[in-house]
Amino acid sequence: MKPRLPYLITLLLAITISACSPEENTSIAPEDTNEFIYSNISYPLTSAIINNDNNANSLGIRLFNKTSSQITSNVDLDDIAYVYFDLGTESIQNTTYNNIENYAISINGSIVDSEFNPETILLSNNDPDSDVFAQSGSVTITNFTAYNIVFTFTFTRTDGQVITGRYDGNYLAPNGIN
């Protein structure tokens, strides 16, 4: 009888687990994903770096699919998803910024010899006559503390393509921005 006891316990455990209703198994809400979405494809975002590029009236947020330690390590990297926008302000507030003049979003980028090289540019303010120029853009910050930032963003390109994204997490602020 003893050799059958482990099988019996396993069978009872399997029946108990399978007897749970689907509502009980899905009661935990999924966590928000840090990502941007373009053309129904999701690109994960792992880290945020906030700095002022030595311009007191110009706070920029950079998002990457790599960790901040990878980005700042001076090691060559590839397959980088990158989001950048300048809020055009000297301090970050919990508000919606609608006048985003400097922005860039790219995928498949690389860092070689400490230089970032975008590969596939999805959004850029460099050429107002191109399809990758934004006809509108907004960033809504809902929480900003000394350690965490939560925001969403939406850009509509001149060709009608929409890029949306969100980030909720820690950030690196090399210039001590708070």
Question: What percentage of residues in the chain have a pLDDT greater than 90?
Answer: 57
Structure tokens at 171: 């950030």
Half-sphere exposure for 167 (CA within 13 Å, toward CB): 28
pLDDT digits (tens, 9 = 90+) for 133-145: 999 999 999 999 9
pLDDT digits (tens, 9 = 90+) for 154-172: 999 999 999 999 999 999 9
DSSP-assigned beta bridge partners for residue 83? 63, 105
Spatial separation of the C-alpha atoms in residues 23 and 27, rounded to whole Å = 6
Q: Three-class SS of residue 6?
A: helix
pLDDT digits (tens, 9 = 90+) for 39-65: 999 999 999 999 886 666 788 999 999
Helix H or strand E segment including 71: helix 68-71
13 and 140 in contact (C-beta within 8 Å)?
no
Q: Three-class SS of residue 2?
A: helix
Does the predicted TM-score (pTM) go above 0.75?
A: yes
What local confidence, expressed as pLDDT, does residue 31 receive?
A: 58
Please give the C-alpha separations between residue 169 and each of 47, 94, 137, in angstroms, as whole numbers: 8, 15, 22
What local confidence, expressed as pLDDT, does residue 24 receive?
A: 46
